[in-house]
Amino acid sequence: MVAFAPQLERLTAFPFRRLAALLADVRPPAGLEPVDLALGEPQDPPPALLARTVADHAHLWNRYPPPQGTPEFRRACVDWLVRRYRLPEGLLDPERHVLPLCGTKEGLFLAAALVAGRPERPLALLPDPLYGVYYGAALTFGLEPRFLPATAASGFLPDLDVLDAATLARTAVLYVCTPYNPTGAVADRAWLRRVLRLAHEHGFLLIVDECYAEIYDAEPPPGALEVAAEEPGGLRHLLVFHSLSKRSSVPGLRSGFACGDPEAIARFLHLRAYGGAVQPLPLMAAATALWRDEAHVAETRERYRQRFAVAERILGGRFGFRRPPGGFFLWLDVQDGERAAVRLWREAAIRVLPGAYLGAGPAAESPARRYVRLAMVHDVDVTARALERFVAVLG
Ligand SMILES: Cc1ncc(COP(=O)(O)O)c(C=O)c1O
């Protein structure tokens, strides 16, 4: 038998495989339309601009795409960032600060390799609960995960007060996510400033996953770049990640980018030239067009607002319901997330994700165990029917 890497033994199965195993022998009631609220996959149609632009660039399929992407793509990303975060002109140079990715997932994974392998800095600080890719990255590249619990007491953001100077001095990387999947919390500028200053002071890489930045309710969530623009340490030690998957409802396009510290971007480009996938040129042209268009994003945002209004009407005042300021998830306190997921599938044909599957390693007493995550990705009617059934079972 092949001698597989021992660290892979510590990787728990991906949340959706765990959910499939949990529900494998559970039958939903006959005659009820099943609704999947577990998977965070936008169900809205992709903008027409996408297919049109791909077709217009069909002559480029016979070319290898360069790992650094096209100048047009990098320029569109910078123009969008400057508009979205009101960044000072000149802060970002498309040639030095931006790297295209085939979706942020692979970039968030590979980024840990940039800082792994230094014995004096063995730690990866991770939020709990978390998008499991951060955990998988830390383990795969030999970093030791340390979890920062995000509870009601810490405003559903990772608790920074658990960090001491000795831990910070041994930290290689800190991953954070805002708007935060799964809790729906949004980090304010002061919180972002705090983590950025920690990175500057203690010399670790700060990764800010902002892939839900464009799905918000009242206010656009602040971003780490706008905070960095005001700090003496600037972009040093910082990588932010952005994606078209949620913004443009195109998870199938596999398109995102990293932006930040020019030295980290240069090393990332170097690394990805060996082991990174590169987006084909016709798709990159479509991504360029999507970053330049705001109209479809405004419509998408409005659809999410309507779903959250429905959720607030049906769930408000129960299960610790909070209307999330950003992202498209509800994070509901049902006391025992796994038990609730089984009941909801058996009695109401609704799939939800137990919080424990997004929590820290299997043995830990993660604060996420009490919760379930619901993705508000269906249209208002489907959402309303599903949430009525949710209340009928658990209310
Ligand atoms: C927190 C978070 N980060 C990153 C991703 C990856 O998105 P993509 O690879 O489609 O850009 C996801 C996808 O669900 C996510 O929830």
Mutate to test the pocket of ligand 1, among 14, 105, 240 (most ligand atoms within 8 A of CB): 105
The residue among 158, 159, 157, 239 whose CA lies nearest residue 196 is 239
Nearest to 294 by CA among 326, 248, 329: 248
**Bigger pLDDT: 19 or 362?**
19
Domain 6-45+296-394 sits in which CATH superfamily?
Aspartate Aminotransferase, domain 1 (3.90.1150.10)
**Is the domain 49-293 a CATH 3.40.640.10 member?**
yes
Nearest to 334 by CA among 326, 343, 347, 324: 343
pLDDT at 275 over 80: yes
Does ligand 1 lie within 6 Å of residue 256's CB atom? Answer: yes
Which amino acid belongs to residue 133?
A: V
pLDDT tens for each residue of 27-45: 999 999 999 999 999 999 9
Confidence (pLDDT) at 361: 61
pLDDT value, residue 360:
76
Ligand 1, atom nearest to 177 Cα: 1
Handedness of CA 178, 179, 180, 183 (dihedral sign): positive
3-class DSSP string for 9-67: HHCCCCHHHHHHHHHCCCCCCCCCCCEECCCCCCCCCCCHHHHHHHHHCHHHCCCCCCC
How many angstroms is it from 31 CA to the middle of ligand 1? 33
Choice from 14, 39, 104, 242 to test ligand 1 binding pocket (greatest atom count within 8 A of CB): 104
With 80 as the cut, is the pLDDT of residue 23 above it?
yes
**Mean pLDDT to the nearest integer, 211-239:** 98
Least confident of 294-303, 330-339, 358-367: 358-367
**Residue 10 pLDDT level (bands cut at 50, 70, 90):** confident
Residue 214 Cβ < 6 Å to ligand 1 = no
pLDDT tens per residue across span 106-128: 999 999 999 999 999 999 999 99
pLDDT at 11: 86
**Average model confidence (pLDDT) across the chain:** 96
Report the pLDDT value the prediction gives residue 199, as an integer from 0 to 100: 98
pLDDT at 363 over 60: no
Query: Mean pLDDT across the stretch 324-348?
Result: 97
CA 2–ligand 1 middle distance (angstroms):
31
Residue of 264, 266, 275, 210 lying closest to 235 (CA atoms): 264
Q: Is 181 in the pocket of ligand 1 (CB under 6 A)?
A: yes
Q: Kindly list the domain boundaries of the chain, sorted by start residue.
A: 6-45+296-394, 49-293
pLDDT of res. 362: 54
As given in the structure block, the two tokens for residue 278 are: 């590169």
Q: What is the pLDDT of residue 364?
A: 53
